[in-house]
Chain A
Amino acid sequence: MSDMEPQSSKFRLQEQRQAAAQQQSGQQQAGLEFATAEELLRHDAAQVTPPPTLRQRLHLTLRGQKPVKRRWWHRLFARNPTEP
């Protein structure tokens, strides 16, 4: 494609490329294949996001709470603190 080409035809070509790319990705999506259950689960996990309300709820809950400070005996006896 030369630089002298009209702008509209550039756009058209770009649109065609995008459409082809979308079609290709659609085909790939339609024919997914996973070697193991874990691969499938990984794919599934990538599609899942925590709801935004989770963060909002946490924010509201934590506003009413102070963080628990590390107690002096935890620092002193760091080898054997109680793990929750």
Chain B
Amino acid sequence: MASVVETVAPVETPSPTPPATPALEPREFAAVYETYSRPVYYLALRLLGDASEAEDAAHDVFLKVFRHLGEFRGESRLRTWLYRITINHCRNRLQTWQRRHIGTVPDDRVWDNLPSPADSPLRLLETKELGQRIQQTLDALPEEYRLLLLLVADERLSYEQVAELTHQTADAVRGKLHRARRAFAVEFSKTA
């Protein structure tokens, strides 16, 4: 367990917790929750596209973490381990529902042929409903692009760690990232 504590040691600023909320035990698990509940919930939210489903997923993920924290071997970073559990869990949920993205996502070459705002900045005049626009955009992308962008957006993950999580090489991640950005920009502009 000491290795877990060491891995958690360079803790990022935990999200503020309301005083009335119950304490989580044991202490190591509470520290993991404080540090990682935000990124885990956000990843689940944007992968599943629904706040209550994301809450369920995050709950199950942390339950798994609680059960297996003692087995965490510290070879990968705790963040990578948590993300792997989250990704697998969300995939399972999506497969179970069989309700999203069935035959709706276009071939990824579609975005290559469109006049695209991809090389220009993404501009926002209105931040209201930004979350909805982002979700709409992500939902329109192939799962691979969606996951890639969400993982790369986490600055604490290296390309190598993203590669590990997406089962490909870091070079492949770099290569696909350009196409994923382009696809995102095209789809995002459609939501304006």
User: A82 contacts B55, CB within 8 Å?
Assistant: no
Complex partner residue of A33 from B25, B68, B122, CB under 8 angstroms: B122
User: A36 contacts B21, CB within 8 Å?
Assistant: no
User: B134 contacts A54, CB within 8 Å?
Assistant: no
Binary contact track A29-40/B, C-beta < 8 Å → 1, others 0: 111111111111
User: B21 contacts A48, CB within 8 Å?
Assistant: no
Nearest CB in chain B: distance from A28 CB, A: 10
Binary contact track A51-64/B, C-beta < 8 Å → 1, others 0: 11111111101100
**Contact flag A41-B41 (CB < 8 Å), given A52-B21, A81-B73:** no
A3 to B115, CA, bound (A): 62
Binary contact track B37-68/A, C-beta < 8 Å → 1, others 0: 11101100110000100010011001110111
Interface centre among B1, B39, B69, B127 (most CB of A within 10 A): B127
User: B124 contacts A50, CB within 8 Å?
Assistant: no
User: B130 contacts A44, CB within 8 Å?
Assistant: yes
Instruction: Report the number of A-B residue pairs with Cβ-Cβ less than 8 Å.
Output: 140
Q: Summarize B's interface: helix, strand, loop or mixed.
A: helix
We find that the number of chain B residues with CB closer than 8 angstroms to chain A is 57
User: A50 contacts B29, CB within 8 Å?
Assistant: no
Complex partner residue of B22 from A39, A49, A56, CB under 8 angstroms: A56
**Contact flag A45-B42 (CB < 8 Å), given A58-B24, A62-B24, A74-B70:** yes
Complex partner residue of B124 from A34, A37, A54, A56, CB under 8 angstroms: A34
Select the stretch in A6-14, A16-24, A65-73 that faces chain B. A65-73
User: A47 contacts B149, CB within 8 Å?
Assistant: no
Nearest CB in chain B: distance from A2 CB, A: 40
User: B125 contacts A31, CB within 8 Å?
Assistant: yes
Instruction: Classify chain A: how many residues form its interface, as a range.
Output: 35 or more
User: B127 contacts A38, CB within 8 Å?
Assistant: no
Nearest CB in chain A: distance from B143 CB, A: 15
Does B173 lie at the interface of the complex (its beta carbon under 8 Å from any beta carbon of A)?
Answer: no
Does B18 lie at the interface of the complex (its beta carbon under 8 Å from any beta carbon of A)?
Answer: yes
A50 to B39, CA, bound (A): 9
User: A68 contacts B59, CB within 8 Å?
Assistant: no
Does A78 lie at the interface of the complex (its beta carbon under 8 Å from any beta carbon of B)?
Answer: yes
A41 to B151, CA, bound (A): 10
Specify which chain A residues have a CB less than 8 angstroms from the CB of B131 in the assembled complex. Answer: 44, 47-48
Specify which chain B residues have a CB less than 8 angstroms from the CB of A36 in the assembled complex. Answer: 122, 181
Nearest CB in chain A: distance from B160 CB, A: 17
Pick the 8 closest A-B CB pairs, nearest first.
A70-B70, A41-B153, A37-B184, A50-B41, A59-B22, A38-B153, A84-B68, A32-B124
